[in-house]
Amino acid sequence: MNTVNTRLFRNKANWLGFSLIELVIAVAIIAILAAMAIPAYTNHRLEANRAAAKVALANIAAQEEKYYMENHLYGASLTSIGYSATTIGIDNNGGIVASGSGIYNITATVPISGSSFTLTAAATNQQLKDTGCLSLKLDQLGTKTPASCW
């Protein structure tokens, strides 16, 4: 071996493991990537949950319209159109859960005349971070409020 190779491999203990600087750099890179990824993921989840609530509102509105076709008035509450309670919860997959345990609580408001309805999805639990869209509404005319959330 020549003198250059002898100097490089003389002390093998120096070649085992990582130095503290290398470890700190790797941890810093991971922290920077996490700082960018976590907020983006959180925003994505909020938007996906909002989409699930919109689908649930559209399905309930369809049930109200079906009830109207058969009875010539809108159902007075969610129970009258086939749901288990007057307020239902919606999970992030659009499934119905007990009120208060989902990401949205949905209620129906129908006047005594039964000539109209307004469905309201109110954010609960982790969805409260979606500050601009805490309450989604849909009525019998298809009016969606707030418009920026739809």
- Is residue 129 in a domain? yes
Give the pLDDT of residue 3.
55
- Residue 82 belongs to a domain: yes
Assigned domain for 11 exists: no
Query: What is the pLDDT at residue 100?
Result: 72
Residue 10 lies in a domain: no
pLDDT, one tens digit per residue, over 57-115 is 999 999 999 999 999 999 998 888 988 888 888 887 777 887 777 889 999 999 998 89
Identify the domain containing residue 138 by its residue range.
17-149
Domain presence at residue 88? yes
Tell me whether residue 5 is in a domain.
Answer: no
Please state, for a pLDDT cut of 90, what percent of the chain lies above it. Answer: 50
Tell me what pLDDT residue 12 has: 58
The verdict on residue 110 lying in a domain is yes
User: How many independent structural domains does the chain possess?
Assistant: 1
Q: Which residues contact 88 (CB under 8 A, 6 or more apart)?
A: 78, 96, 97, 99, 105, 106
pTM of the full structure? 0.76
Among residues 87, 93, 82, the alpha carbon closest in space to that of 56 is found at 93
